[in-house]
Structure formats: structure tokens, C-alpha cells
Amino acid sequence: MSLSVLGLLLFSSAAAAENSCAEVLAEVRSLKSALKELLCNPNGLRMHTLDNGETYFFSTTHVGSVLNWYGAMQFCKSNKMDLASPKTKEELTLLVRKSKEIDAEATWHLSATDAGRERGDFRWADGEVLPLNSSLWLAPHANFRNFLWEEKLCVYIDPEQAEKLQLHNCVVKSHIICQLPAKCK
């Protein structure tokens, strides 16, 4: 076998291997995209990506648009999301402004609650503590003392009142803000 034929065979084998790797990488990317779509597609709901890069669903007039906190949490979970967790003033402002644009007269459930914990031990969907002395609250140290002891309290926003977190009984019906999980970015 001549040196030029051997070189041509080696070159062909290397090119085939390179094409093979490129095809495998393309297939992996395609599978990754399909998996993300499967895990993160919120069942055809109209989503809104805000200036913070986060993507949210704001309930409007369809079935399930106004639920108690437990129903709202279940609705978000069944659509591969969580109730929204605005942990910064900037994020809270974005959510209040968008909710006001959609329905200024509505109140909107968020993920924080003390349900299943001691009174006043508010946690977001990811388990992070929402301190009672947070500047995100409308009233200093929250207003949980205004409720009956056995009531479970949930956090909501009311765009007509303020760009602040407020409390109500978890059985109160409100609109819903769901948030896509970080893995779906």
C-alpha cells in the first residue's frame, strides 16, 4: 500500500470520526432540549419573562385563576412550576407592576407561608426563611398577630396597596403567580 493511499485512509477515518462526534453532540443537544421541554413546558400556559430574566405565569380569567393558597400551590406544581418567590425588592416590584398591568384589583398568592410550621415561621417554596423583619413586608414585623391562632397564613401581594408583602388566611382565594424553576432557564 502506498503512503498516499494510507494517508488518504487515515484522513477519511479521522473525518468520519469527527463527523461521528459532531452527530453525537448534535443528538445530545437535541435530547437535552427535548428533556428540558418535557420537564419545563408549563402545559401551554401564557408565560411572561420579566426584566430580571425570570419567567412567570399570571392567572387571568381561565379555570383555576382564583384559588386558595393550597389550590394555587397545586396548580403551579401540576404545571411544573412553584408559586413565585420574590426575595428582593427589585423582583417584588417587577411582580407587583406586572400583576397590576394584568388585573390591578386582584390579590396574588406567592409561595411563602407558615403552614405546617410555628406561627410566624414563613418560608418560601425552596425552604428559605422570609424573616419577619424583612423590609419586603408592608407592616413592621408582619401583621400575623391580627389573625386567629389556628389560622395558617400565606403571603400575597395587592398591587393597589403597595409594592410590599402582605398576609392573609391561606383559605382566601386569590389570583396566582407561578414561577418557572431555575433549571428551566
Which span out of 13-17, 43-47, 119-123 was modeled with the highest average pLDDT? 119-123
pLDDT tens, position by position, 139-184 = 755 566 666 656 789 999 999 988 999 998 999 999 999 999 988 8
pLDDT tens, position by position, 61-90 = 655 579 999 999 999 999 999 999 999 999
Grid cell 411544573 is found at 80
How much of the chain, in percent, has pLDDT values that exceed 70? 75
Q: State in words which class domain 47-184 has.
A: alpha beta
| pLDDT of 40 strictly over 80 | no
**Spans of all domains in the chain:** 1-40, 47-184
Mean pLDDT of 98-109: 93
Which residues touch 185 (CB under 8 Å, ≥6 apart)? 53, 55
Instruction: State the pLDDT at residue 88.
Output: 97
49 membership: H or E segment, kind and range: strand 47-49
Q: Is residue 113 a contact partner of residue 153, using CB atoms and an 8 Å limit?
A: yes
CA 154/CA 152 separation, integer angstroms: 7
The pTM for the full model equals 0.76
Instruction: State the pLDDT at residue 159.
Output: 94
Which residues touch 86 (CB under 8 Å, ≥6 apart)? 92, 94, 95, 110, 136, 165
For residue 119 the three cell numbers come to: 406561627
Instruction: State the pLDDT at residue 6.
Output: 47
CA 97/CA 101 separation, integer angstroms: 6
